Structure 1
Amino acid sequence: MTIILKKVPESEKSTLRNFYSLYLHELSNYTTNLDIGEDGVFHFEELDQFWDVDGLSPYFITLDDKVIGFILLVERPFLKKDNDYGINDFFILNKYKGKGLAVQAAEVLFREKPGQYFVMQVVENKRAVAFWKKVYNELNIETHDRQELIDDERCLIQTFKV
């Protein structure tokens, strides 16, 4: 089983939009800032900007040529602070969780794009917090952690270099 990250072409925007709705549905368990649309779908309004703004880079996580998730990587020139990259969103379908595939996807990303990173999780999302701790442990990454209030949500932010 081979994990490959594939930059999402604009022609596959509708597939990414569907994955984002699933991701936001899952995230809605941990924040009051997300609501389902009247059409029964969680919408990510900024999605169209991914192909218009430099430094917003969506990637599909693929397993044997099948899309099983996505990563939204924020990079320069969009990112202007001390970090080279930020993992804004990271999602894998429930069917593939607990099999080490998400850790493999993170490892592929870090191998392909070394540099200074930040990753943020809503503190209440204990599953995400535990996942990122597992990534750091398995890949021997030393992080600097801090908490901040962002959009009225307590967030855990890790910075590290790979």
Structure 2
Amino acid sequence: MAVTLIKVLESEKSILRNFYTLYLHDLSNFTINLDVEEDGLFHYKELDKFWEAEGLSPYFIKLDHKIIGFILLLERPFLKKNNDYGINDFFILNKYRGKGFAIQAVEKLFKEKQGQYFVMQVTENKRAVAFWKKVYEELNIEHHERQDLINGELCLIQTFIV
């Protein structure tokens, strides 16, 4: 089964919005900054900016032409400091987790977009922290890690070059 990364078209915004709702639901387990809205959904109000601001690049993760997740990649000129890229949001549907598809997606991204990266996880999200440590180990990536308080929550931030 082949994992591919496909840039999300603006015409596919509603699909990405649906996936973001699932992602935010999962993330709400680990952060005080997310809660369901009155309509029963989690909303990402900044979604439209993905097609308005240069350097915000959403990708669908597909498995044999079926969408199984997404990556939001931050790039220049959106990023202005030391990093060329930042993986802002990364999501795989529960059904496809633990099967190696997420690492395949990250590996494809790193082959396509090489440079200085940063990745951040809320420290309470143990699964995400473990996933990124596995990525660094399996792909033999030397990384530097630090903790920082962001929006009132303790986060791990890793930087590395691919």
TM-score (normalizing by structure 2): 0.99
Identity among equivalent positions (%) equals 75
Q: Please state how far the C-alpha of 1:138 moved relative to its aligned partner.
A: 0.4
The secondary structure found in structure 2 opposite 1:26 is helix
> Which position in structure 1 is the counterpart of 2:69?
69
The secondary structure found in structure 2 opposite 1:45 is coil
> Which position in structure 1 is the counterpart of 2:132?
132
The secondary structure found in structure 2 opposite 1:18 is helix
Measure the CA separation in 2 of the matches of 1:21 and 1:37: 11
Structure 1, unaligned stretches of length 5 or more?
A: none
> Which position in structure 2 is the counterpart of 1:115?
115
The secondary structure found in structure 1 opposite 2:131 is helix
Measure the CA separation in 1 of the matches of 2:36 and 2:6: 28
Mapping for residues 79-158 of structure 1, pairs under 5 Å: 79-158=79-158
Measure the CA separation in 2 of the matches of 1:3 and 1:97: 13
Letter in 2 for 1:112: E
The secondary structure found in structure 1 opposite 2:80 is coil
> Which position in structure 1 is the counterpart of 2:15?
15
The secondary structure found in structure 2 opposite 1:25 is helix
Measure the CA separation in 2 of the matches of 1:124 and 1:19: 22
Q: Please state how far the C-alpha of 1:103 moved relative to its aligned partner.
A: 0.4
- Spell out structure 1 runs of 4+ moving beyond 3 A: none
Letter in 2 for 1:25: H
Q: Please state how far the C-alpha of 1:90 moved relative to its aligned partner.
A: 0.2
Measure the CA separation in 1 of the matches of 2:38 and 2:7: 30
Letter in 1 for 2:150: I
What is the RMSD computed on CA atoms of the aligned residues? Answer: 0.4
Letter in 1 for 2:126: K
Deviation per residue, 1:38-79 (Å, 9 max, x gap): 111100000010000000000000000000000000000000
Deviation per residue, 1:84-107 (Å, 9 max, x gap): 000000000000001000000000
Structure 2, unaligned stretches of length 5 or more?
A: none
Letter in 2 for 1:68: I
